[in-house]
Structure 1
Amino acid sequence: MKKDKYFDLLSTKFNTSEEIVSEIINLKAILDLPKGTEHFVSDLHGEYSAFQHILRNGSGNIKEKIRELFHQQLSTKEQNELATLIYYPEKRLKVLTLEQPTQWYKQTIDHLIQVIRFCSSKYTRSKLRKTFPKRFSYIIEELLSETNAHNDKQQYTHQIIDNIISLNQAENLIIDLSYIIQRLVVDHLHVVGDIYDRGPEPDNIIERLMTHHSVDIQWGNHDIIWIGAAAGSPICMMNTIRISARYNNLSIIEDTYGINLRPLLTYAEKYYEDNPAFRPKLDNDHTLSQEEILETTKIHQAAAILQFKLEEQLVRRRPEFMMEHRLLLSHTNFKEQTVTIKGQTYPLHDTCFKTVDPENPSELTQEELEVIQRLLHNFIHSEKLKRHMNFLLEKGSMYLVHNENLLIHGCVPLNEDGSFQSIQLNNTTYQGKALLDFFETALRKAYQNPFIPDDYETDSLWYLWSGESSSLFGKKEMTTFERYFIHEKNTHTEEKNAYYSLREQEETITDILQEFGLYGPDSHLINGHTPIKEIKGENPIKANGKLVVIDGGFSKPYQKTTGLAGYTLLYNSYGMQLVAHKPFSSVRQVIEEQDDILSMKRLVDRPVKRKLVKDTSVGLKLNAEIEELLHLLEYVNYFYRK
């Protein structure tokens, strides 16, 4: 068996023992390079403009490289102009007024080449070459190889630049060099959950991620709901429609994903009127007519009531989920317009229960069943939605252990004493890592079988959204019904899992890291999901630096309470830096006024020794590959000796 394996490896990759030796030398050399920069983002919530700007500027990393390189050569204004050009080369070139274009081209190309040299110091020549666009790959390689030692070589490269300018290719070269820099400043991107909901362009975020050179995703609760809709879950589907209506984003469903909502609108027009509690949240730039606002309001009500009915059916179908307290339609007195929750009766306001049968409130009418089936067919058969969800499944997971760090969107459910919270699911008790593994297995199985709407795995996706022991929800209950219909604010409170208070303690985080196999002193838990209210003094760095929360409020609705517009995290060979961002203005303002996002960095952790590739997850894989090659070499030498 092993002999066949080595023969296969030899025949597919290597022709001679010398080639094997060369590869071993190459891989061992890579192990001693500094580790690449990892970039962590979280809770993007459809805010594509802010996200793509963070990607383009590397969370301030590009500007920092320029400052290190040119602090004695360029003024602050000139440094900012160079940074803006690198972020948006095509757009910036269009608005520039050049008095001496030839001289500016020469100087700018020289500056960009210097930045590339500086940023590429931790990469092999082979890896660097892969970042070059085809049209200028030879030219860029020649420009990068220039040294000040030989005047002949200088003259050669100067002639190359002169020819590029004379042939009107300078701007194209500047564009390509700028994108190479964007590519080099970040080696790998981690998205720690919640790409979807609230903001207007989650689809563009996915499209951008699909072109990224190296990315992984840890699913968030809002991502799970969209996966659930594509997996054929009626209740997940209704929730995506409800949230989209609430935030005036139905166009994502209809225009972006081509999902026809006409069946739901026709139904909603028949049974629902205007209702202040269900009007969409509108920003100052909205262009909706009063008729469109009313249509959205009606769809919002219809989706909410259908969701509540479907939820009651699921709760009764899955008693092991222990969600009986969410049977609020069944606890509603429709004649008196009151609801009883935990023994307390509350008056209801802004109700819309015309389609609810008081004798059997969770029952769907035949008309409602037909609407749900038609909508579900449209979701399941949306080509673009399927392509995006396939990408989330391919690149995503419930959690990730990478380079001695644990990445998880929400939490690891805990009891008050710090022990792992357990739950019995499908006749087996789960807790800690095993619970998250169960959820991931269930999700993947549900997605593979989209035409079974109420199987255990599909129902588990709803539990992930709102169940008490869900690692993505992390609260005792989701009070959606109460927020719509009850004025008393105390009923809106969603009590958090003990994890969120205990995560301040280093001992708790250490226990969680060890549960996932992380015992090293440099290990961290990197979290999203819960916005850090820095405006109230909350610190995103917790547990003596062992835990970092990077949800600072990319989502615009959160920014008034968080005081900022998101955290990102950079982890290079020297350690971790948390970056706090002020709200993003617009691409136009950045290009025309060099008004970059104001980003403030704070040190999270600086290792005693600089980290090399050999200290990373990639290093472990390379060492395993080296071992295989050494065995192959030994086998080949033995084979030829015989």
Structure 2
Amino acid sequence: MKKIDYLKLISKRYPNIDLVSKEIINLSAIINLPKGTEHFLTDLHGEYESFSHVLRNASGVIRRKIDETFENRINETEKNELATLVYYPKNKLIYLHKKNEITNEWYFDAIYRLILLLRTASFKYTRSKVRKALPENFIYIIEELMQEQEDMESKKRYYNEIINTIIETKRADKFIIEISKSIRRLVIDKLHIVGDIYDRGDGSHKIMDELIKHHNCDIQWGNHDILWMGAAAGSGACVFNVLRIALRYANLETIQDGYGINLLPLAQFSDEIYSENKTDNENSIYKPKLQKNHMLRDRDLLLISKMQKAVAVIQFKLEGKIIKNNPAYEMEDRLFLDKLAVDNKTVKVEGKIYNMKDSFFPTLIKSNPYKLTEEEEELVKILISSFKHSEKLKEHIKFLYSKGSMYNKTNGNLLYHAAIPVDVKGEFIKAEFDGKIYFGKSLMDYFDLKAREAYFIENANNDILWYLWCGKNSPLFGKDKMKTFERLFIGDESLMRENKNAYYNFRNDESFIDKILIEFGLDTEKGHIVNGHVPVKTAKGENPVKAKGKLLVIDGGFSKAYQKITGIAGYTLTYNSQNIALVSHKPFLSFTESIYNNYDMLPKEVYIKEEEKRVLVADTDDGKELKKSILILKELLQCYRKGYINEL
């Protein structure tokens, strides 16, 4: 298209000199504002309460805004209560009403303080952007209250009268709830989730609901996310991996309550086929990992154990078929069912014979061990259909695709979940798929494309989604093998170790990180890699800051299952106009503790990198696009002035 034709198209939106000039001035003002704060979280693993609190307190940003706004004008107790009110306004108000602690004076102080806090939170944004973050019913009132003229006696009376009227008309609760939402929205400009929303905890579906409501977020897929994406795409191997993990942790809430998937056919099949496994001893290897406060009865645990066994056997059969059908995956060493002895009491692994913990496998057909029985085949069809046709799961998975990717380049930083596969020399592994060689960035791009085709193209091969879950060259897995069979059925320590990709040996090497940044077209002086997937063993002295700060690992144990290893409850990262800050969190107690006792999961600063000069919107990816728009608008302006395009 010729440039003049393109400018004529733009002129339909800006049909005269006045409108073009106005937009140029507006965009020029925006790019000279400080950049908004970015918030980075990873490896949430279904821990909804912890995630929700960190989201609400913005990794301590809101509390810092409170300190900045009020300094010594209010005491620590008042600051803590104000913070809790911003995090959980509705619940806090209900609690205070029950205690009869809310008076007109309390309302006045709370509203006034929230207005001052909103001013601090909004200083770096244009009036237009702030307006979009305000509740529609109170826009005019809030904009009036945000004018900083309390020193003028007439204005002070005006402000007081507005607040008093809000209280008298019994709109104070609604006003506080809505203005608190606006504060939370304005303190974080963009949220980045660096993978693994799903599995282990029971609130993955709730986290997804929160993310869908968020004003601006993106997701870098983790291997547990891709597993659910595969299940929703109809991959039987992915479905049965999802089920096994849920049964392993006795967390069925996401599957049953969140997505409405009926597990009764699985329960009936398991109870019937494995009816001989009745004693605790025989089912011990299948018993779920339980939280201390679980409410499950012995008979429930026995049924869950049988279900886990049934699922595991079907999983290994389905995976065997994928491995045989895809020699490019090079995963033949994961085939075990054909290595079992006739009596199933031993198995050959890497040329050695090992005893099996369990030998009762009534659905194994010795002549064809990877063949499903008729009953198993029917069960697989039922469960695949349930996953594919869950409307709630469809909504969540489509959101994962629309906001997600294998990696993300944003404002000079590179975000990905696990690893860039390399060999023992630190060179990018060259993997062959579909007759072509891929490595580094091209491998990530290939997998991103194939992951999308597997879900959106009807009858596409969805095996690639299972490979991304556990394949040896999967950037989302980052290990040589997933040793589920060995851990479950053999238990020999020498076999259970999953070897990490050599990437993890080089993460502290600055030149190695530079090589990755260059591969993805990023600046080695200013760029960083943000990584998750492998929990940082903080309790053992491991440092999440690698390669002199060029790589930051933010998986520190959101999942309760990892907190004994990590010693903390996760790392999170914020990046504002002045610095990049990595912080650690203590385990979250509960919503109740926050609402009743003003408990906060305030983080501890682990690493701060100050910017040499304040980062402006002009320095960001969005700013670069705005600069391009300004140049185009200036060309349109010249066309109007020279008469090449007529004004309307």
2: CA distance between counterparts of 1:86 and 1:65? 12
Q: Do residues 547 (structure 1) and 551 (structure 2) align? A: yes
Q: Distance in 1 between matches of 2:262 and 2:81?
A: 46
1:237 counterpart residue number: 239
2:545 touches 2:607 (CA, 8 Å); kept in 1? Answer: no
Q: Does 1:538 align with 2:542?
A: yes
Q: Deviations over 1:125-176 (max 9, x none)?
A: 1101111101111100000014135322222111111111111222222222
Aligned to 2:508: 504
User: For the Cα contact (< 8 Å) 1:541–1:604, is it kept in 2?
Assistant: no
Q: Secondary structure at the match of 1:126?
A: helix
Larger mean CA deviation between 148-157 and 503-512 belongs to 148-157
Alpha-carbon shift at residue 71 of structure 1 (Å): 2.2
Q: Does 1:77 align with 2:81?
A: no
Alignment match, 1:164:
166
Q: Residue 270 of structure 1: CA displacement?
A: 2.1
Aligned-pair CA distance for 1:351: 4.1
Is the contact made by 1:522 and 1:607 (CA closer than 8 Å) also made in structure 2? no
Give the counterpart letter for 1:130 in structure 2: K
Q: Tell me, what secondary structure is at the counterpart of 1:372?
A: helix
* CA distance in structure 1 between the partners assigned to 2:60 and 2:10 by the alignment: 43
Q: Which of residues 630, 633, 640 is equivalent to 1:626?
A: 630
Checking the alignment, whether the CA contact within 8 Å between 2:545 and 2:552 is kept in structure 1 is yes
Report SS of the residue matched to 1:333.
coil
| 1:24-39 equivalences in 2 (<5 Å) | 24-39=24-39
Judged with a 3 Å threshold, the aligned counterparts in structure 2 of structure 1 residues 99 and 470 are, in CA distance, closer, same or farther, namely: closer
User: Partner letter of residue 294 of structure 1?
Assistant: L
Q: Distance in 1 between the 2:492 and 2:602 partners?
A: 39
| Structural mapping, 1:318-333, within 5 Å | 318-333=326-341
| Shift, 1:641, TM fit | 7.5
Gaps of 5+ in 2: none
Give the aligned residue type for 1:39: H
TM-score normalised over the length of structure 1 = 0.97
**Partner deviation per Cα, 1:228-284 (whole Å, 9 max, x = no partner):** 011111111111111111111223222221222233223222211341111222212
Measured after TM superposition, the shift of residue 18 of structure 1 is 0.8
Per-residue CA deviation, residues 261-316 of structure 1 (Å, 9 max, x unaligned), is 23322322221134111122221222223332222222211111111011111111
Deviation at 1:578, TM superposition (A): 0.6
- Partners in 2 of 1:351 and 1:67 — Cα distance? 63
C-alpha contact 2:344 2:359 (8 A) present in aligned 1: no
Moved more, 331-340 or 578-587: 331-340
Whether 2:302 is the aligned partner of 1:301: answer: no
Letter of the 2:32 counterpart = D
Q: Is the 8 A contact 1:350 1:484 kept in 2?
A: no
CA contact (8 A) 1:231 1:449 kept: no
In the alignment, what sits opposite 1:277? 285
Bigger mean CA deviation after superposition, 274-283 or 379-388 = 274-283
Instruction: Write out aligned runs for 1:68-107 (5 A).
Output: 68-96=68-96, 97=99, 101-107=103-109
| Aligned mates of 1:210, 1:641 — CA distance in 2 | 43
What's the counterpart of residue 619 of structure 2?
Answer: 615
Distance 2:368 2:101 in 1: 78
Q: Deviations over 1:53-86 (max 9, x none)?
A: 0011011111111112222211111111111111
Amino acid at match of 2:267: L
2-structure distance, mates of 1:159, 1:355? 77
Aligned counterparts of 1:100 and 1:367: Cα–Cα separation in 2: 62
Report the CA distance shift for 1:16/1:147 in structure 2 as closer, same or farther (over 3 A): same
Displacement, 1:15? 3.4
Q: Say whether residues 1:399 and 2:407 are aligned partners.
A: yes
* Structure 1 position 603, deviation (Å): 2.8
Q: 1:211 aligns with which of 210, 213, 219?
A: 213
1:9 aligns with 2:17: no
Give TM-score scaled by structure 2 length: 0.96
Partner of 1:483: 487
1:98 CA displacement: 5.7
Q: Which amino acid aligns with 2:55?
A: L
Deviation, 1:9, is 2.5
CA drift of 1:505 comes to 0.7
Match of 2:370 among 335, 359, 362: 362
* 1:597 aligned partner: 601
Shift of 1:27: 0.7
Distance 1:563 1:391, change over 3 A: same
* Paired residues of 1:232 and 1:451 also in contact (CA < 8 A): no
Q: Measure how far apart 1:219 and its partner are.
A: 0.3
Alpha-carbon spacing, 1:517–1:641, altered in 2? closer, same or farther (3 Å) = closer
Stretches of structure 1 lacking an aligned partner (at least 5 in a row):
none
What per-residue deviation string (whole Å, max 9, x for no partner) do you get for residues 5-29 of structure 1? 3333222x22322111111111111
Contact (CA 8 Å) 1:351, 1:485: kept in 2 or not? no
Match of 1:464 among 468, 490, 493: 468
Q: Given residue 499 of structure 1, which amino acid in structure 2 is its aligned partner?
A: Y
Whether the aligned pair in 1 keeps the contact of 2:227 and 2:466 (CA below 8 Å) is yes
1:576 to 553, 575, 580: 580
Q: CA deviation at 1:545?
A: 0.3
605 and 370 in structure 1: CA distance in 2 versus 1, 3 angstrom threshold: same
* Partner-residue secondary structure (3-state), 2:244: helix
- In structure 2, relative to structure 1, the CA distance for the partners of 1:467 and 1:160 (3 Å cut) is same
Conserved 8 A contact 1:189-1:215: yes
Would the aligned equivalents of 1:422 and 1:469 in 2 still touch at CA under 8 Å?
no
In the aligned structure 2, how far is the partner of 1:8 from the partner of 1:290?
70
1:560 and 2:564 correspond: yes
Offset, 1:481: 0.2
Residues 479-509 of structure 1: per-residue CA shift (max 9 Å, x gap):
0001101131121100000001101111111
Is the 2:639–2:645 contact (alpha carbons within 8 Å) kept by the matching residues of 1?
no
CA–CA distance in structure 2, aligned partners of residues 85 and 205 of structure 1:
21
Counterpart in 2 of 1:182?
184
Count of paired positions: 637
Query: The residue matched to 1:39 in structure 2 has which SS?
Result: strand
Note if contact 1:329-1:362 (Cα within 8 Å) is conserved in structure 2.
yes
Match status 1:431 vs 2:431: no
Aligned AA for 1:532? V
Write out per-residue CA displacement over residues 168-223 of structure 1, whole angstroms, 9 at most, x where no aligned residue. Answer: 22222222221111111111000000000000010000000001000000000000
**Paired letter, 2:206:** N
One-letter identity of the residue aligned with 2:382 = R
User: Are residues 157 and 146 of structure 1, via their aligned partners in 2, closer, same or farther at CA, if it must alter by over 3 Å?
Assistant: farther
Question: Aligned ranges for residues 263-274 of structure 1 at < 5 Å?
Answer: 263-272=265-274, 273-274=277-278
CA distance in 2, matches of 1:385, 1:235: 17
Question: What's the counterpart of residue 149 of structure 2?
Answer: 147
Q: Give the counterpart letter for 1:164 in structure 2.
A: I
